[in-house]
Amino acid sequence: MEKEGSVGINNIERFLGDYALENNFQFKRLTEDTHPEKIAIIGAGPAGLSCAYQLARRGYKVTVFEAFSKPGGMLRYGIPDYRLPAEVLDKEIGRIEEFGVEIKCNHI
């Protein structure tokens, strides 16, 4: 048996991510319970968005405050478009908003 080379994990992740976006793959809430607490997150970068997403999946009402005009932080402003197209990022952020996360931009 001949080996053809290494597997590019990044290519597999990209394929699966694109497939999920194109086919409107839906993530489930982890609970149907809702919590009365409201949570504010400062910054819509990778950490803030991830935190907001995980809290929303657990039934919390989350608002993210971002200083820039668009969410994404270094994903949007630090990574070149050929590595992470803006349309892919926008779709992923849209999926987070579908869970009920409110993102308020231009808030310092």
CATH number at residue 51: 3.50.50.60
| In-domain check, residue 18 | yes
- Rg of the chain's alpha carbons, rounded to an integer? 16
Closest CA to 102 of 71, 64, 68, 67: 64
Asked whether residue 73 is assigned to any structural domain, the reply reads: yes
User: Can you list the alpha helix ranges (DSSP code H) found in 1-108?
Assistant: 9-22, 46-57, 74-77, 86-98
pLDDT digits (tens, 9 = 90+) for 41-98: 999 999 999 999 999 999 999 999 999 999 999 999 999 998 889 999 999 999 999 9
In this prediction the pTM is 0.83
Q: What is the total count of domains within the chain?
A: 1
Whether residue 77 lies inside any domain: the answer is yes
Query: Is the CB of residue 96 less than 8 Å from the CB of residue 49?
Result: yes
Q: Is there a domain that residue 32 lies in?
A: yes
Instruction: Give me the domain span that covers residue 91.
Output: 10-104
Confidence grade of residue 1 (pLDDT, cut at 50, 70, 90): low
